Amino acid sequence: MAIVLFTDFGSNDLYVGQVEMAILRVAPAARVVHLLHDAPAFAIDASAHLLAALAAQIPEQSAVVAVVDPGVGSMRRGVVVQADSRWFVGPDNGLLSVVAARSRVCRVWHLRETPQTASPTFHGRDVFAPLAAQLVAGDFPDHLLGASPCLDVELGGNDLARIIYFDHYGNAFSGLRGSTVSTGAGVCVAGRSLRYARTFADVPTGEPFWYVNSQGLVEIAANSISARELLGLSLDMPLRIET
C-alpha cells in the first residue's frame, strides 16, 4: 500500500527527499505519494480541514504522514490515528483531529516516547516517516505505541468558514463543505457577495464567483484570472453565507 505525504515542508526545499529516504530505509518497496508539500505553513486549523477534504481519495490501508508542526520538539505528543481503514501519523496538535472527528470508526495510539536519536526539529523524517513505513509493512510497533481514548487536541468535525488554501491559479479553498451550502446562497468575502456558478466557463472572463471544487469544498475563483489578486484575499480570511 501507499505512504502518502502531506506537509508544509515546501516542494522545492531539501526536507521532502529526506522524508522519502527515511521511508525507503524501512520499507524499500513502499509506494510514496506526494499529496501536498505546500500546506499552509504553521496553519494547523487550515491544514487540518484541507487534509480532511482530501482523505476520502486516499486508498484504504495506506498510511499518511501528515506534518504541519510548529511545536516540533516541544511537549506535544506524536500520534497514530486509524480512521476508516486509513492510517494517519503525525503530531497531536489538532492536525489529524478533523479527519478523526469525521470518521465512522477511529482508534488512537500515542507515541510512548520520542527516540533519542531523533532530531528535535525534524520529527517528520526521524519519527513519523519510519513509523508509517512500519505500519504499511504490517509491523505494528506495540513497543512504541500506547492506545489512547482520544487525541490531546481536538478541533472537532465542524466546517471552517475561512480561506484555508490557495492554489497556483489564485483560487481560494475554504473549509466549508459544498454539501452544506445552497447554490442559491451568496458567499461574502472581502466585502463582496459572490454568486454560485457550476464552473469557470459559466461566468464572463474576469468575473469572480464561488463553486464546489473537486475536493467538495466551497472555493472562491474567477474566470481566467487570480481571484486572490482580484479580491485581495488572504489566508484565514473569513467567509459568510448570505441566504
Smallest CA-to-CA distance from 243 within 185, 193, 163 is with 185
Q: What band does 1 get if pLDDT is binned at 50, 70 and 90?
A: confident
Smallest CA-to-CA distance from 53 within 30, 35, 78 is with 35
Q: What is the pLDDT of residues 12-68, one digit of tens each?
A: 999 999 999 999 999 999 999 999 999 999 999 999 999 999 999 999 999 999 999
Give the count of alpha carbons within 13 A of 8, CB side only: 20
pTM as predicted: 0.96
Buried b vs exposed e over 207-236: b needs ≥16 C-beta within 10 Å? bbbbbbbebebbbbbbbeebbbebbebeee
Q: What is the pLDDT of residues 147-174, one digit of tens each?
A: 999 999 999 999 999 999 999 999 999 9
Cβ neighbourhood burial of 91 (10 Å; 0-12, 13-18, 19+)? buried
Q: What is the pLDDT of residues 194-239, one digit of tens each?
A: 999 999 999 999 999 999 999 999 999 999 999 999 999 999 999 9
